[in-house]
Amino acid sequence: MKYVLLFAGTMSEEDRARQPELAEQYERTSAWFGEQIKAGKVLGGEELKGPETATTVRFKSGKAMVTDGPFIEAKEVIGGFAVVDVANLDEALELAKSWPGGDVEVRPIVEH
């Protein structure tokens, strides 16, 4: 089954991630990706730029409206994601528990 792991954090955590003392966390997360890709569990993923870079398309009365900024305001933001292919939810949760970078939301992917 395929799942997406959404890596969450707060803006203050993202801001701090730019500081040199958190370079070690980036090293750990890069190593995690390398290990999981080599094991064939991670199919791909990316780090995302901050929500201030978002552009949102909303629909009102059938018309598309483009606005700067994220879809919703929140204290936590998605900082990146990984697409994984594992046997079941339990295995996806074990991967999420091994993530060295903080909170992770696990969601199944709809396969058509």
Amino acid 96: pLDDT: 96
Rounded-to-5 percentages of helix, strand, coil across the chain: 35, 40, 25
DSSP string, 2-44: EEEEEEEEEHHHHHHHTSGGGHHHHHHHHHHHHHHHHTT-EEE
Q: Report the range out of 13-27, 36-50, 51-65 with the highest average pLDDT.
A: 36-50
Given a cut of 70, whether residue 17 has pLDDT beyond it is: no
Q: Higher-confidence residue: 48 or 15?
A: 48
Q: Report the range out of 26-30, 51-55, 57-61, 88-92 with the highest average pLDDT.
A: 88-92
Domain 2-108 has CATH 3.90.180.10: no
pTM, to two decimals? 0.80
Q: Higher-confidence residue: 111 or 1?
A: 1
SS3 95: helix
Given a cut of 70, whether residue 16 has pLDDT beyond it is: no
Question: Sign of dihedral through CA atoms 99, 100, 101, 102?
Answer: positive
What ranges do the domains of the chain cover? Answer: 2-108
Amino acid 44: pLDDT: 95
Amino acid 53: pLDDT: 85
Pairing of strands 2-10, 103-108: antiparallel
Mention every residue, 6+ apart, whose C-beta is less than 8 A from residue 74.
Answer: none
